[in-house]
Amino acid sequence: MCLCALLWVAGLVGGASAAPEVARSFQDQRTPAPGKPLAIGDYSAGCVQGARPLPLSGQGYFVMHPSRLRYFGHPMLVDFLQTLGRAVKTRHLGVLLIGDMSQPRGGRAPGGHASHQTGLDVDVWYWQPKLGSAGTLSAGDRESLKARSVLDTKTEAMQAALATRVEHLLQLTASDPHVERVFVHPFIKRELCAKQSSDHAWLGKLRPWYGHDDHFHVRLACPADSPQCTPQAPVPAGDGCGAELDFWFSPAAQKDREQGQKDYESKVTHARAMPEACLQLLQ
Ligand SMILES: [Zn+2]
């Protein structure tokens, strides 16, 4: 073990001031940590042992921006995405474009994420570009294309051409028993709630959250055999289309929303201390 790793293990557990260095060292990891697959810690301060890479393309999906090396996850996440890709293909819903999963050993990734640290989170784009004649997307496109908002800026509704695809993608995703939450833009949830389909229990897993108009963020529940994975509070019962959704639109809640946005931004910009079991993955 190198001296730097010893210092981390000895001095950084619980030391918030050192957390950014730990975050940087997770960013430097190029391979998964060996061993039994384990999600460790919480979604915003954790890591993953025994992660698997999602193959860069497969039935019904492509990994985007692969040079970022964020296509790793707990095997449960990899299996979930491959299953979802096959379902999307079978239903002729186009392809899934997979954004960030986790780094090879999880931990904090630079730029915009507080979570995605335990190998259980993934961003999936709503939009998809025109594919080549063989249903392909070039390596250059996969590296350079960016996610696009699905909302019409004037009407605040989903763009008509994409609304059906988005609804089907979200229903398929939220209906998977491994999925605990799916973060979406509040306008998207409102629109789906307004449709009042006869089977709308799946809507409860859609959680309105800031941003998320160009991708949805899927979070799997802690795997049963990862005892150090910190679960989140269960999603409240019901479809979440009532008062809970009103919060995002009520003028009275404006201040609370602004505070929520500030709290979230501070989570994104401040690395938190990691569990000791995560520091061991850096040795
Ligand atoms: Zn995300």
**Nearest CA among 199, 209, 206, 210 for reference residue 235:** 206
Ligand 1 midpoint to CA 138 (Å): 24
SS3 201: helix
**Nearest CA among 169, 162, 149, 137 for reference residue 62:** 137
Ligand 1 midpoint to CA 78 (Å): 16
CB of 119 closer than 8 Å to CB of 79: no
CATH class of the domain defined by 3-263+275-280: alpha beta
Ligand 1 midpoint to CA 122 (Å): 6
Number of Cβ within 10 Å of residue 63's Cβ equals 22
Ligand 1 midpoint to CA 281 (Å): 23
User: What is the pLDDT, as a whole number, of residue 153?
Assistant: 80
pLDDT at residue 172 tops 70:
yes
Helices (H) and strands (E) in the chain, counts: 9, 11
User: What is the pLDDT, as a whole number, of residue 104?
Assistant: 98
φ/ψ of residue 9, rounded to 5: -65, -40
Ligand 1 midpoint to CA 94 (Å): 21
CB of 249 closer than 8 Å to CB of 194: no
Ligand 1 midpoint to CA 116 (Å): 7
pLDDT at residue 145 tops 80:
yes
Rounded mean pLDDT of 220-228?
A: 97
Rounded mean pLDDT of 119-135?
A: 91
Helices 19-27 and 3-11, packing angle to 10 deg: 140
Ligand 1 midpoint to CA 57 (Å): 20
User: What is the pLDDT, as a whole number, of residue 1?
Assistant: 33
Residue ranges per structural domain of the chain:
3-263+275-280
The confidence band for 11, taking pLDDT boundaries of 50, 70 and 90, is: very low
pLDDT in tens, 82-112: 999 999 999 999 999 999 999 999 999 887 6
Rounded mean pLDDT of 7-34?
A: 65
37-46, 158-167, 200-209, 258-267: the lowest-pLDDT one: 258-267
pLDDT in tens, 68-87: 999 999 999 999 999 999 99
Rounded mean pLDDT of 114-128?
A: 95
Beta bridge partners of 206: 182
User: What is the pLDDT, as a whole number, of residue 244?
Assistant: 85
User: What is the pLDDT, as a whole number, of residue 9?
Assistant: 29
What is the rounded average pLDDT for all residues in the chain? 88
Q: What residue has token string 């994420």?
A: 113
Beta bridge partners of 218: 122, 182
Ligand 1 midpoint to CA 70 (Å): 11
11-15, 59-63, 260-264: the lowest-pLDDT one: 11-15
Ligand 1 midpoint to CA 216 (Å): 7
Ligand 1 midpoint to CA 261 (Å): 15
pLDDT in tens, 205-218: 999 988 899 999 99
Rounded mean pLDDT of 219-238?
A: 95
CB of 135 closer than 8 Å to CB of 95: yes
User: What is the pLDDT, as a whole number, of residue 10?
Assistant: 28
Higher confidence at residue 209 or residue 31? 31
Rounded mean pLDDT of 225-245?
A: 92
pLDDT at residue 6 tops 50:
no
Ligand 1 midpoint to CA 102 (Å): 10
User: What is the pLDDT, as a whole number, of residue 231?
Assistant: 94
pLDDT at residue 37 tops 80:
yes
pLDDT at residue 156 tops 90:
no
Ligand 1 midpoint to CA 20 (Å): 20
User: What is the pLDDT, as a whole number, of residue 27?
Assistant: 92
Ligand 1 midpoint to CA 249 (Å): 22
Ligand 1 midpoint to CA 150 (Å): 16
User: What is the pLDDT, as a whole number, of residue 129?
Assistant: 87
pLDDT at residue 270 tops 80:
no
